[in-house]
Structure 1
Amino acid sequence: MTSTAASAATTDKWSAQLRAHGRRVTKQRLAVLDAVDHSPHAGADEVAAIVRTTLPDISLQSVYVVLTDLTETGMLRRIEPPHSPALYETRVDDNHHHAMCTGCGRIEDVDCAVGHAPCLTPSNTHGMTIQIADVLYQGLCADCAAKPDTAVKTS
């Protein structure tokens, strides 16, 4: 499949999902979805910078509005690592977790331990029906651990 065909297929996929969620298909929404899809775990500033390569006049506020709307529809997932701005990803159809390097801040997906939601069982549900477990593993990536001046950081 050529990159043009792949791009058209991706646009068709996002367009169908937007319509299924009762949203109009706009170039701003498509550009934000494409940016987050190609740069998972990106913050709003990074998404805006990517979107501005195709829509140079889009404001940061417009990007925030689209990110918020797409998160509320369930098309994007917002993750909030400690001491970091919110990050966004398009991987929303499973209950996966994240690993964060405390040295460089890199975020990676970690598949669910048992494969279905919720993949962790709490000791007390307080009468709630638990649907999702959200875990953030923190540590040093191999690159940061190899640096002689990197101390183990804890939050």
Structure 2
Amino acid sequence: MITVHSQESFHKLDLFQIVRYGDRMPIDSALREQLRTVGLRVTAPRLAALEVLAESPHSTADFVASRVREQLGGVSTQAVYDTLRVCAEKGLLRRIEPAGSAVRYETRTGDNHHHLVCRDCGDIRDIDCVVGGAPCLTPDDDHGFVVDEAEVTFWGRCPRCVATHPSKPSAQ
């Protein structure tokens, strides 16, 4: 979370909220503040990776690395992987692993949202919490665990894939 200053008040927002809800603070300034808030140095690769993910959520590390190199030139894939790892560890990014897919990263953190994945093209969309507050679902037996998060993935076919191949069955 970062503190975003407006003329009227202070707002605590995550990067997803800054991108989604507008220009309370320029994105570059918000990213810099967010990195500093979690104790990370502001570096060009970190800024570039967070910008890529703000524009293209649910991206793979390879996609992020490719886009960062387009912006900055000679940044190694390992440097981008390290950036993604440390940003996820600090809570700036969320790492998701849909079955059969590469690890993906997103900037929407801290709200225990879920995902809808197209079986055909792999498109991923955010789904808000299923029912009530986090963790959204209550297991029938928690086995003594203190549950603080639930991860739900809905699978189906996106409208584009259904339109392209309407007779293809939706379940595999």
Q: TM-score, normalization: structure 1? A: 0.90
Aligned length in residues: 148
Question: Partner letter of residue 134 of structure 1?
Answer: E
> 1:74, 1:29 → 2: CA distance?
14
Question: Partner letter of residue 48 of structure 1?
Answer: A
Q: Does 1:132 align with 2:155?
A: no
1:113-128 to structure 2, matched below 5 A, reads 113-128=130-145
In structure 2, the residue matched to 1:81 is 98
In structure 1, the residue matched to 2:168 is 150
In structure 2, the residue matched to 1:44 is 61
1:61-100 to structure 2, matched below 5 A, reads 61-100=78-117
> 2:168, 2:43 → 1: CA distance?
45
Q: Does 1:13 align with 2:30?
A: yes
Q: Does 1:106 align with 2:123?
A: yes
SS of match in other structure, 2:162? helix
After superposition, the C-alpha distances for 1:102-128 in whole angstroms (9 at most, x for unaligned) are 011100000002342111111111111
CA drift at 1:93: 2.6
Unaligned runs of 5+ in 1: 1-5
SS of match in other structure, 2:39? coil
The worse-fitting range, judged by mean Cα deviation, of 140-149 and 78-87 is 140-149
- 8 A contact 1:103–1:153 mirrored in 2: no
In structure 1, the residue matched to 2:19 is none
CA drift at 1:148: 4.1
Q: TM-score, normalization: structure 2? A: 0.81
Percent of aligned positions that are identical: 46
> 2:166, 2:33 → 1: CA distance?
50
Given candidates 40, 46, 53, the residue that maps to 1:29 is 46
CA drift at 1:150: 3.1
Unaligned runs of 5+ in 2: 1-22
RMSD: 1.4
Runs of 4+ in 1 over 6 A off after TM superposition: none
SS of match in other structure, 2:89? helix
SS of match in other structure, 1:54? helix
